[in-house]
Amino acid sequence: MTDIFSEIEEDIRKDRAKRMWDRFGKYVIGGAIVLVLGVAAWRGYEAYTTSQAAAAGDSFLDAIALVEENPQEGIAAFDAIAADGPGGYAALARFRSASTLAQQDDFDGAIDGFQSLVDDASIDPLVRDVARIRLGYLLLDHGAAADIEGLLLPLSEETNPFSHSAREIRAFAAMKAGNREQALALFLELVGDFASPESVRSRARVALDVLASDGTSAVGS
C-alpha cells in the first residue's frame, strides 16, 4: 500500500510540474535566452571598446610623432582623434592640439581650444583643471588678463594641487592690470607658504621687489 501511495504522489508531482512548465516554461526559456544574449552583448561590447581604445592609443602615438615632423598635420591628426576617439583619448587629443597651436604661435586658436576643455563638463575634472592653468598662462600674455581671476579662483584653495600655480598667475594678472593691492597680497601668500615650490616663491620675491620699487604703477601694463 505504501508503494501505491508513493507512486500516486509521484504522479501528482509530475503532473504539477508538467502544468507549471506548460504555463511558465516559455518564460524560463525566454529569460535564459535574454541572459545569454545579454552576456554575449556585454562581452562583445568589452571587446569592441578594448579594440577601440587600442586603436585610439596607436593613433595618438602616431599623432605625437607626426606633430614633430609636421605640426599642421599633427594637429589635424589630434583633431581626428578628438572627433572620433573614445572619451579619454579624445580629451587628451584636444589638449595636445591646443598645446601645439600655442607652440605654433596660434594663440587665439590655443585659447579657444583650452577654453573648450574648461567648459566641457563631460571630461575628467583633472584634465579641465590642467586646461585652466594652461589657459591662464596664455591669457596672461596673449589674452584678457581680466578673465584670469574668475578662471583660476576655483583652483586657488590650498587643498587644490594647482593652488600655487593658480595664485601665481592671478598675482601676475593683478600686477599687469594695475591692481597692486591684490598682487601684493597674493605674492605675499606665496612667499609665506612653505608648501609653495621654490621656483614659485623665488618669482614671488622678485615680483614683490618690483612692486616695492614702484608703488604707483603696474608692471607690464
| Least confident interval from 71-75, 115-119, 213-217 | 213-217
Mean pLDDT of the chain: 78
Judge whether 208 and 184 are in contact, CB under 8 Å: yes
**Quick one: pLDDT at residue 88?**
77
For the record, the C-alpha cell of 18 comes out as 508538467
State the DSSP H helix or E strand holding residue 209, giving kind and residue range, or none if neither.
helix 198-213
The answer to whether residue 107 scores a pLDDT higher than 70 is: yes
What's the whole-model pTM score?
0.70
Averaged over 132-157, what is the pLDDT? 91
Place of cell 597692486: 180
Taken in order 220, 146, 122, 161, is the CA torsion positive or negative?
A: positive
Neighbours of 198 (CB within 10 A): 8
